Amino acid sequence: MYGLVRPLLFGLEAERAHAFGLRSLDTLHGLGLSRLLGPRPRPFPTNAFGLTFPNPVGLAAGLDKNGAHVDALFALGFGFVEIGTVTPRPQPGNPQPRLFRLPRYRALINRLGFNNDGVDALVRNVERVRVRGGPLGINIGKNKDTPNESADRDYLHCLERVYPLADYVTVNISSPNTAGLRELQEEQALRRLVGTLREAQERLGAKHGKRVPMLVKIAPDMSDDDVHAAARVLADLQVDGVIATNTTVSRISVQDDPQSRETGGLSGEPLMNKSTAVLRMLRTRMPEAIPLVGVGGILSGADAVKKMAAGASLVQVYTGLVYRGSGLIGECVEAIRRRKEAPSRGNLPNL
């Protein structure tokens, strides 16, 4: 089905296709026709951070920034959906065009810049969600005009607003499209910010009588030393999980594409090895009790299996959905199921 729709979507400017695609999904869902897009994956319950996921394949942040399409996205069969990044106040993001396709590489470059309607609008949307097909993650960030010195206030504000509604919260300090944001990943800044948020998480847990796991999402462009330092800080502070990774600013593998000169974060196939290497490094440096989410470049079931082999407990997709459609979700679930069941048959695939 998606094979027929894709040429139509790819005929539109990328951001228009994005909006049109989401509107169409909502319409199909409203008519009860989501199943036209393909069969839903068979359940494959998976536990992580104290939550049960109907399957381990989720939607990565950024596709539904305002949480306005949650019902329709769950209907595609995702085991979890992460909405956001949301900021305290609404902001328009960067001027258009700001989203580019590199079809030869099955990749995207985006410099959206946290365009979103603000956390109050997201909360209103989430309150209207009818059925959660699995855990709902809410990814939080800071406004563009908030200096890093007061970034903790933005993150705290968002954490407090979304805490009662979220099944987990992701602290995004890894987007390349908000100037200086990635500096929050440096050891001292990271310890300060995540330390403050961990205290708030405990306080909010007591206030609301429920513990909402908090994850931190990191970039693929850190040096090995920086990854080791981040792993140390995040383990010390006992975060509930880490998401590896966001998009890359590297263009090494797509240099010959004319679009590669566009500023922004590169996602999709060319990101796979780089983000998996960061995931693997984190897994060797962090206690097993802290689960990792693998994201970056999953375009097939085999890619999802590679993330699990590198230490992921769950995976997420975004760009793969654009190039492969929602059939990718079931393909990943089945490939992960086969890998998990393989050892008992003495038949572990060669990774």
Ligand X SMILES: Cc1cc2nc3c(=O)[nH]c(=O)nc-3n(C[C@H](O)[C@H](O)[C@H](O)COP(=O)(O)O)c2cc1C
If the CB atoms of residues 41 and 265 are measured against ligand X, the closer one turns out to be 265
User: Using CB under 6 A, which of 268, 294, 311, 327 touches ligand X?
Assistant: 268
214 binds ligand X (CB under 6 A): no
The residues with which 349 forms a beta bridge, in sequence order, are none
Chosen residue from 77, 113, 134, 296 binding ligand X by CB under 6 A: 296
Least distance CB 266 / ligand X (angstroms): 9
The binding track of 61-80 with respect to ligand X, each residue x by CB under 6 A or -, is xx--x---------------
Nearer to ligand X, 99 or 122 (CB): 99
Question: Which has the closest alpha carbon to 16: 121, 101, 106, 89?
Answer: 101
Let me know: does 230 contact 189? Beta carbons within 8 Å.
no
The interface with ligand X within residues 42-61 (CB under 6 A) comprises 60-61
Quick check: is 250 catalytic?
Answer: no
Measured distance CA(124)–CA(108) in Å, rounded:
30
Which residue, 91 or 246, has its beta carbon nearer to ligand X? 246
Instruction: Count the residues in the chain.
Output: 351
Terminal CA-to-CA distance of the chain, rounded, Å? Answer: 31
Q: How far is CA 316 from CA 28, 228, 243, in A?
A: 23, 23, 9
Q: Which of 46, 85, 146, 178 binds ligand X (CB under 6 A)?
A: 85
Q: Which residue, 158, 181, 177, 169, is CA-closest to 88?
A: 158
Name which position in 57, 197, 212, 271 contacts ligand X (CB under 6 A): 271
How far is it, in rounded angstroms, from Cα 221 to Cα 181?
Answer: 13
Number of residues in contact with ligand X under rule CB under 6 A:
26
Crossing angle for the helix pair 224-236 and 187-208, to the nearest 10 degrees: 30
Catalytic positions, written as ranges: 175
> Where do contacts with ligand X occur on this chain (CB under 6 A)?
60-62, 65, 85, 99, 108, 110, 112, 139, 172, 175, 217, 246-247, 267-268, 271, 295-298, 317-320
